[in-house]
């Protein structure tokens, strides 16, 4: 079924499929850190101890979402806690919510919103799970997860117990998606390892008594958890029944996409020093773990690597979502190209990402078109996991973030050095979230850093290119339209909020349009199966799109 909604009926002469590829390289990408001026004064308090408890190096998840429905994305930061008590006292350990006031100004509204939180928080994921039009928030942490329902009046209510999603293991993050296309968002929780403050083996160099954070092999892994949304505010743990429980991992991040185009959203989970998981959604409430068969479990080196943050999007505009994730120095950031027929191939070197990232360590990651030239670029938030790494290796602990521009020919170029003087700031970066905070059509980035102020990277690239941001409103599908697949010309994207490490970006679906001033056709395939087409759309706008009734 195709429903055509005419928003501007003139067919344009400019077809995005014919966008010229840049002859002299991608358009420049520039950022400026405006956090201090914007009033985003968050410092990630990871509480490092002499015992080097593993949790201390892992926090930093960020959720970007419009909690008050004013059309401006707000920012939520997770924060650490005291160790070993795992209590959020003193208040410097509170999670923080910053309301976007417009004009790149933010205000701390944590207390009013009731989101100071509890426990050692790691990751966050936002979505409107109860379809009431107010975006809710899941916060993952060490031995405790929390679900906060947005009451629509600027306040949140902790509904964890009522929802039935309490947990006693160490979770890194959660991800919202509708695995059975019933119009209700389900929750996938990524669990890391079995840990407690009592487990603190000496790792590092015992001869010279130099302590380091332990390799994950010192800890037993955990299965991930899948909760099915019953639609009455409660969830059912279907981990076992869905085939998720059988896979023991050390999960770090999750991303969603329908990689085989069968209409059901699939799940990719990075694991730390274990093969990744690709849970193929069988469409009957069950998943099959197929990463090895699909070629997405390990890079071509065949080695287990430190899978960190992930994005699952189409970088080469062939209509198929690809996988890219961060790792640690010496491992390169793998890029798995979706070859169709359920097969991925390791394009880490073919895309040039391999040599560009061999000496980098990364956490947050996102494939977004930062220069609006029609090709998704790659941002990574960088740092090594171990603050003592420089004693042992050539790898650096604190690193500047990276931006790799998509050259449009299947390769990327490192344009970090030209991204602005303050972009070279080396810190222990962790989570990253992406949104257009000032409605200028350019994707900005917010990044957390251990023990240091968060960074708000305003995209100050030239305004030469056009753009479009689609904000979806599902009716038969889930209200956020999560899982909807969108095609504009030769570009493809899908609505997902899980991007990067422990973070969530709930801010619509962004498209760079190059020099085009109008879009000939937008095609949206909603999770309900409805296919909606819009024609003759003016560029450079935030477009609210409601799913048609049929």
Q: Is 107 exposed, middle or buried (0-12, 13-18, 19+ CB in 10 A)?
A: middle
Nearer CB in complex with another protein: 309/354: 354
Under a CB-based contact definition with an 8 Å cutoff, are residues 403 and 459 in contact?
A: no
Backbone torsion region of residue 515, taken as left when φ is above 0, otherwise alpha when ψ lies between -120 and 50, otherwise beta: alpha
Separation CA 80–CA 57 (nearest Å): 10
Separation CA 336–CA 123 (nearest Å): 25
Task: State the residues that interact with another protein by CB under 8 A.
Answer: 201, 204-208, 212, 217-218, 275, 292-293, 295, 298, 300-303, 330, 343, 346, 349-350, 352, 354-355, 358-359, 391-394
Nearer CB in complex with another protein: 295/489: 295
Separation CA 509–CA 498 (nearest Å): 12
Nearer CB in complex with another protein: 290/310: 290
Nearer CB in complex with another protein: 204/548: 204
The minimum distance between CB 391 and another protein, in angstroms, equals 7
Separation CA 480–CA 254 (nearest Å): 18
- The widest CA-to-CA distance across the chain, in whole angstroms, is 74
β-partners of residue 535 are 6, 521
Work out whether strand 335-340 and strand 322-325 pair parallel, antiparallel, or are unpaired: antiparallel
The minimum distance between CB 297 and another protein, in angstroms, equals 8
Six token digits for residue 237: 């743990």
Nearer CB in complex with another protein: 400/507: 400
Placement of tokens 């890079």 in the chain: 299
Separation CA 198–CA 300 (nearest Å): 37
Six token digits for residue 512: 């760079």
The minimum distance between CB 286 and another protein, in angstroms, equals 20
| DSSP conformational letter for 36 | H
Separation CA 508–CA 546 (nearest Å): 13
CA distances from 264 to 80, 323, 348, 491, 526 (A): 36, 17, 27, 20, 11
The minimum distance between CB 278 and another protein, in angstroms, equals 13
Nearer CB in complex with another protein: 217/241: 217
The minimum distance between CB 387 and another protein, in angstroms, equals 14
Under a CB-based contact definition with an 8 Å cutoff, are residues 44 and 452 in contact?
A: yes
Nearer CB in complex with another protein: 152/204: 204
The minimum distance between CB 303 and another protein, in angstroms, equals 7
Nearer CB in complex with another protein: 291/443: 291
> What is the total residue count of the chain?
550
The minimum distance between CB 294 and another protein, in angstroms, equals 10
The minimum distance between CB 189 and another protein, in angstroms, equals 24
Nearer CB in complex with another protein: 150/332: 332
Nearer CB in complex with another protein: 21/350: 350
Counting Cα atoms < 13 Å in the Cβ hemisphere of 435 gives 30
Nearer CB in complex with another protein: 218/515: 218
The minimum distance between CB 300 and another protein, in angstroms, equals 5
Separation CA 510–CA 440 (nearest Å): 12
Work out whether strand 105-108 and strand 225-229 pair parallel, antiparallel, or are unpaired: unpaired
Contacts of 421 (CB under 8 A, 6+ apart): none
Under a CB-based contact definition with an 8 Å cutoff, are residues 320 and 338 in contact?
A: yes
The minimum distance between CB 441 and another protein, in angstroms, equals 34
The minimum distance between CB 52 and another protein, in angstroms, equals 14
């Amino acid at each position: 079924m195709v429903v055509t909604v005419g928003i501007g009926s003139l067919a344009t002469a400019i077809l995005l499929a014919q966008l010229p590829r840049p002859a002299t390289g991608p358009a420049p990408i520039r950022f400026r850190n405006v956090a201090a001026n914007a009033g985003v004064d968050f410092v990630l308090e990871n509480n490092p101890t002499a015992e080097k408890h593993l949790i201390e190096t892992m926090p930093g998840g960020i959720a970007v979402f419009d909690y008050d429905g004013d059309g401006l994305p707000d920012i939520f930061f997770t924060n650490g806690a005291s160790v070993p008590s795992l209590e959020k006292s003193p208040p410097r350990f509170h999670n923080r919510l910053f309301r976007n006031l417009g004009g790149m100004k933010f205000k701390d509204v944590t207390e009013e919103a009731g989101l100071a939180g509890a426990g050692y928080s790691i990751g966050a994921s936002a979505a409107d799970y109860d379809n009431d039009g107010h975006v809710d928030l899941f916060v993952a942490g060490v031995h405790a997860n929390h679900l906060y329902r947005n009451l629509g009046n600027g306040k949140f209510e902790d509904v964890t117990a009522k929802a039935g999603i309490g947990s006693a293991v160490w979770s890194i993050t959660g991800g919202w998606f509708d695995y059975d296309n019933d119009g209700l968002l389900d929750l996938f929780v990524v669990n890391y390892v079995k840990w407690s403050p009592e487990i603190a083996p000496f790792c590092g160099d015992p001869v010279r008594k130099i302590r380091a954070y332990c390799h994950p092999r010192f800890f037993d892994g955990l299965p991930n958890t899948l909760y099915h949304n019953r639609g009455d505010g409660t969830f059912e743990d279907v981990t076992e029944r869905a085939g998720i429980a059988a896979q023991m991992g050390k999960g770090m991040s999750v991303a969603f996409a329908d990689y085989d185009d069968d209409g059901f959203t699939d799940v990719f989970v990075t694991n730390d020093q274990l093969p990744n998981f690709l849970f193929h959604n069988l469409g009957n409430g069950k998943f099959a773990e197929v990463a090895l068969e699909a070629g997405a479990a390990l890079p071509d080196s065949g080695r287990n690597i430190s899978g960190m943050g992930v994005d699952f999007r189409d970088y080469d505009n062939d209509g198929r979502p690809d996988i890219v994730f961060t790792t640690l120095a010496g491992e390169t950031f793998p890029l798995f190209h979706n070859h169709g027929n359920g097969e991925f191939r390791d394009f880490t070197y073919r895309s040039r990402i391999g040599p560009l990232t061999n000496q980098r360590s990364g956490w947050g990651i996102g494939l977004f078109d930062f220069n609006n030239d029609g090709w998704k670029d790659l941002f990574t938030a960088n740092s090594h996991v171990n603050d003592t790494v420089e004693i042992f290796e050539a790898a650096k602990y604190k690193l500047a973030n990276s931006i790799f521009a998509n050259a449009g020919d299947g390769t990327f170029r490192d344009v970090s050095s030209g991204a602005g003087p303050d972009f070279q700031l080396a810190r222990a970066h962790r989570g990253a979230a992406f949104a257009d905070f000032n409605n200028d059509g350019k994707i900005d980035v917010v990044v957390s850093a251990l023990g240091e102020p968060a960074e708000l990277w305003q995209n100050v690239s030239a305004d030469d290119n056009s753009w479009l941001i689609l904000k979806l409103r599902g009716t038969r599908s889930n209200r956020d339209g999560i899982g909807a697949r969108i095609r504009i010309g030769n570009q493809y994207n899908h609505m997902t909020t899980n991007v990067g490490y422990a973070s969530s970006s709930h801010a619509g679906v962004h498209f760079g349009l190059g020099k085009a001033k109008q879009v000939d056709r937008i095609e949206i395939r909603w999770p309900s199966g409805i296919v909606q087409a819009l024609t003759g759309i003016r560029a450079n706008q935030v477009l609210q799109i409601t799913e048609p009734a049929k």
